[in-house]
């Protein structure tokens, strides 16, 4: 992200949100995470055996998701692509009706929604953050796009992209580096990759497009690669 205005604040805020979304709340007195001692239930409040079993069953999926988020690498903070740039990315990627596109780290789902709605593609977003994944899935369902737009709530480093015609990414350089061997191994010949603002250091771009002003005074650079 070539942040034209106050990037450090933005990154700090987003990282803070990411920690909160991952369920890691610093203790109020600060100075590190504190494990609280479990309080003993008063005798009259002691849960029954079946209540305890139900609680474990209900809590298990949430705990699994939190454990997965904690284990996974956060490859970029949430910083949405302006709508005007969303369209330019999909145009540059030459997305056609019926093609499969994946947005790696899909945020609020704007690229996935545009790909399905405007370009009639079969679009999938992969998003680690619990609340962004839920928010984007709800939006897709409200827009009645569920047949052609999907959100995988998970780690983008753990997915199968072998069917992709187009991949879009807006990740930090370390994120692009980590995803490079996965895409090299999985992508079929001719698949396109469009990267926003940060290039893939291991590849030579087929085309570079500059957007001087996104309407809010920020400039952007897009990179097109082909396998």
Ligand X SMILES: C[S@@+](CC[C@H](N)C(=O)[O-])C[C@H]1O[C@@H](n2cnc3c(N)ncnc32)[C@H](O)[C@@H]1O
Instruction: Report the interface residues with ligand X, using CB under 6 A.
Output: 72-76, 78-81, 103, 105-107, 110-111, 126-129, 132, 155-157, 170
- How far apart CA 127 and CA 103 sit, in angstroms, is 9
Contact between residue 139 and residue 120 where contact means Cβ atoms under 8 Å apart: no
In terms of CB distance, is 93 or 105 closer to ligand X? 105
Instruction: Tell me the closest approach of the beta carbon of residue 107 to ligand X, in angstroms.
Output: 3
In terms of CB distance, is 99 or 103 closer to ligand X? 103
In terms of CB distance, is 132 or 187 closer to ligand X? 132
Crossing angle of helices 130-142 and 110-117, rounded to 10°: 20
Tokens of 24: 């890691």
Instruction: Tell me the closest approach of the beta carbon of residue 221 to ligand X, in angstroms.
Output: 14
In terms of CB distance, is 130 or 226 closer to ligand X? 130
Residue number, nearest CB to ligand X? 105
Give the chain's length: 227
- How far apart CA 168 and CA 152 sit, in angstroms, is 15
How many angstroms separate the most distant Cα atoms in the chain?
Answer: 70
- How far apart CA 82 and CA 184 sit, in angstroms, is 28
Instruction: Tell me the closest approach of the beta carbon of residue 110 to ligand X, in angstroms.
Output: 5
């Amino acid at each position: 992200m070539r942040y034209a205005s106050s990037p450090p604040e933005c990154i700090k805020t987003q990282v803070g949100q990411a920690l909160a979304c991952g369920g890691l709340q610093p203790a109020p007195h600060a100075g590190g995470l504190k494990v609280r001692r479990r309080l003993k239930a008063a005798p009259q409040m002691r849960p029954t055996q079946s209540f305890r079993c139900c609680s474990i069953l209900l809590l298990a999926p949430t705990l699994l998701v939190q454990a997965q988020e904690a284990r996974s690498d956060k490859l970029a903070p949430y910083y949405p692509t302006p709508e005007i740039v969303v369209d330019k990315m999909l145009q540059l990627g030459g997305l056609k009706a019926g093609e499969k596109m994946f947005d790696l780290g899909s945020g609020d789902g704007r690229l996935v929604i545009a790909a399905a709605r405007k370009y009639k593609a079969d679009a999938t977003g992969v998003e680690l953050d619990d609340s962004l994944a839920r928010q984007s899935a709800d939006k897709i369902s409200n827009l009645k796009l569920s047949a052609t737009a999907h959100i995988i709530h998970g780690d983008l480093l753990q997915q199968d992209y072998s069917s992709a015609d187009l991949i879009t990414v807006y990740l930090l350089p370390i994120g692009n580096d980590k995803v490079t061997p996965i895409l090299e191994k999985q992508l079929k010949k001719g698949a396109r990759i469009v990267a926003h603002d940060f290039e893939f250091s291991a590849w030579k771009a087929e085309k570079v497009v500059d957007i001087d002003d996104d309407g809010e005074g920020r400039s952007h650079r897009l990179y097109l690669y082909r396998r």
